[in-house]
Structure 1
Amino acid sequence: MSGPLLLLDLPWLLYRAHFALPSSIEGADGRPIGALLGAIRAILAEIEEHDPAAVCVATGAEDATHRTALLPAYHAHRDPMPDALRHRWEQAPELCAAFGWAVRDGGDLEADDVIATLARRRSAHGGRSAIVTGDRDLLACVDARTVVRRPAGRGPGLVTVDEDGVRDALGVAPDQVTDLIALRGDPSDGIPGVPGIGAKTAARLLARHGDLEGVLRAAGAEGPGGEPGEDPQLGDGLTARLATTLREHAADARRDRAVALLHEADVAAVPDRATDRAAGADAAEALGMGRLAADLRKA
């Protein structure tokens, strides 16, 4: 059986490496190069871990316009990209391509949308995928053929999250992750969720009522088309007070679900291809990453 498609969230890897490695690590141009060095080493480590049939790094808009149109607060709390990182950000796709890795850009969509699109296509055709990201929304892509590699905590290591792992971590199935975000919110993305609903309450409500619309119906909220609500079905975390809150915030919850929902991106398929370590070493050396280049040539 061939290895999985390795799908990597390049923006997340670059940000993570930029802030993890000291700015004293400089490239041939005298500028900090930790973002590139750390991201490439992380990708190479995942290749060793998974022996993939193909590698794809995903990029895209920092903020998808349809999401900011729905929710102006989406990503609004984030600091602007540091200038030192932006310089390496622009170099990253070409460097990755030198290794023979596919680079897929989502245009107006985000890297998460690209990754979700490619993982779902691969799974539909009977293939496997391993997604490397720190974003919670991509846990919605986990299925029998798709896993997510994400941080275990504050350390540098990553853990593999399968279907059971999603249930253990969040208390819901992967196909309920987007509904969970709509109810509890996602502070990292600026998605507020419904006031007074935390992760455990959201998971209990989804366990009983299936999805966001089921929860809202149980609370007596109007349907998405303005259909009249029914008497609340209290229990399993749904109190009279919470039912009132859900009715008052039903439109907000539906909006937040639309913001968290991963969209189909117009990107080309990723052909199977081995990593070109020699070409990658040459490209790394040209940027001033001599030790990385030497390690690649020794392997």
Structure 2
Amino acid sequence: MSAPVLLLDGASMWFRSYFGVPSSIKAPDGRPVNAVRGFFDAIATLVTQQRPGRLVVCLDLDWRPQWRVDLIPSYKAHRVEQENPDGTPDVEEVPDELTPQVEMIMELLDAFGIATAGSPGFEADDVLGTLAARERRDPVVVVSGDRDLLQVVTDDPVPVRVLYLGQGLAKAVLWGPTEVAQKYALPADRAGAAYAELAILRGDPSDGLPGVPGIGEKTAATLLAQHGSLEGILAAAEDPKSSVPKGVRAKLKAASDYLEVAGRVVRVATDATVTLSTDTDTLPLSAADPHRVAELAQAYGVGSSIGRLQHALDGLPD
């Protein structure tokens, strides 16, 4: 099998690094660099484990797209730090000590020549979903701590797996269609798509998605197993001869306005206009600008992490 393409959920990974690596780790000038060190150590580990030929760090250019808010106003509303009456973007609360570290990470990625990708008006999930759906050559491994991305798993046209970082990289679990189907009791032949429909039905308080009141994960999974898809469930609910219980029919009908728009909010986009920062997503085996990398690594005190990354790259085939 060909070397995989790794698609990294940038924000998910550096948030986890920030909270998982001691804040006592600082640059020579006293600035915290725990997220920088943790992020590049994680990439080094992933390169060693997965041996990718290509790698892209996917970015949130819009963490709460207005088009999603227009469809479901509660979407991520509880994460808003401030709303500006002049229509400028809402701000997600980010720890004060993390924001400058993200800038450091971006500088180092640029100097190393590692590709980043984003799409105006879309979240990192959409960038990951689009790049995964677009791939026709190599297997894909999506790396994220966001369980929503389980919806991208598939075997066709190429294998797409999600390395889920819910309990950290050391305990990361690789999910494919079989694992998603077994864990959530979903139809195996469309496990990824069914997971998105499960999320639509049960809702997700962490994203401000109400779901269908009265239908939890277990009921949603049972309905999907019985009727194959959300479309099949809704068709059965309209059929007086079907096995859908009367109470469930009433709940689905009461939530019809939500169900009409929820799919566009919950499902990751697969057709975003994604722009790469580099000409290619091929993982460089050495830094594109070694002098700049050395300069930045020394200034930020992360030379050991950059050294681990280079050691991992040295283990890849030319």
Common fold: TM-score over 0.5:
yes
Q: Give the structure 2 partner of residue 276 of structure 1.
A: 286
Letter of the 1:151 partner, please give it: L
Quick check: 1:139 aligned with 2:140? no
Structure 1 CA distance, aligned partners of 2:178 and 2:294? 39
Give secondary structure in 1 for the equivalent of 2:162: strand
Q: Give the structure 1 partner of residue 240 of structure 2.
A: 231
Give secondary structure in 2 for the equivalent of 1:83: coil
Quick check: 1:59 aligned with 2:59? yes
Change (3 A) 1:286 1:212: same
Give secondary structure in 1 for the equivalent of 2:201: helix
Q: Is the 8 A contact 1:139 1:174 kept in 2?
A: yes
RCO greater where, 1 or 2, for CA within 8 Å and sep 6 or more?
2
Shift of 1:160: 0.8
TM-score normalized by the length of structure 2: 0.82
Measured against aligned partners, the alpha-carbon deviations of 1:193-235 in whole angstroms (never above 9, x if no partner) come to 1111111211111112222222122222xxxxxxxxx42623x
Where in structure 2 are the equivalents of 1:157-176 lying within 5 Å?
Answer: 157-172=171-186, 173-176=191-194
Quick check: 1:83 aligned with 2:84? no
Return 5+ residue gaps in structure 2 as ranges: 82-92, 313-318
Structure 1 CA distance, aligned partners of 2:179 and 2:253? 32
Give secondary structure in 2 for the equivalent of 1:30: coil
Q: Give the structure 1 partner of residue 273 of structure 2.
A: 266
Structure 2 CA distance, aligned partners of 1:50 and 1:250? 43
Q: Give the structure 2 partner of residue 71 of structure 1.
A: 72
Measured against aligned partners, the alpha-carbon deviations of 1:80-139 in whole angstroms (never above 9, x if no partner) come to 1111112222332222233321110122101111111111111xx232111001222221
Structure 1 CA distance, aligned partners of 2:35 and 2:106? 13
CA RMSD of aligned residues (A): 2.2
Where in structure 2 are the equivalents of 1:72-111 lying within 5 Å?
Answer: 72-78=73-79, 80-111=93-124
TM-score normalized by the length of structure 1: 0.87
Structure 2 CA distance, aligned partners of 1:25 and 1:256? 42
Indicate the larger mover: 198-207 or 270-279. 270-279
Structure 2 CA distance, aligned partners of 1:207 and 1:276? 49
Q: Is the 8 A contact 2:59 2:127 kept in 1?
A: yes
Give secondary structure in 2 for the equivalent of 1:67: helix
Change (3 A) 1:256 1:275: farther
Shift of 1:156: 4.3
Quick check: 1:126 aligned with 2:140? no
Structure 2 CA distance, aligned partners of 1:217 and 1:296? 52
Give secondary structure in 2 for the equivalent of 1:57: strand
Q: Give the structure 2 partner of residue 224 of structure 1.
A: none
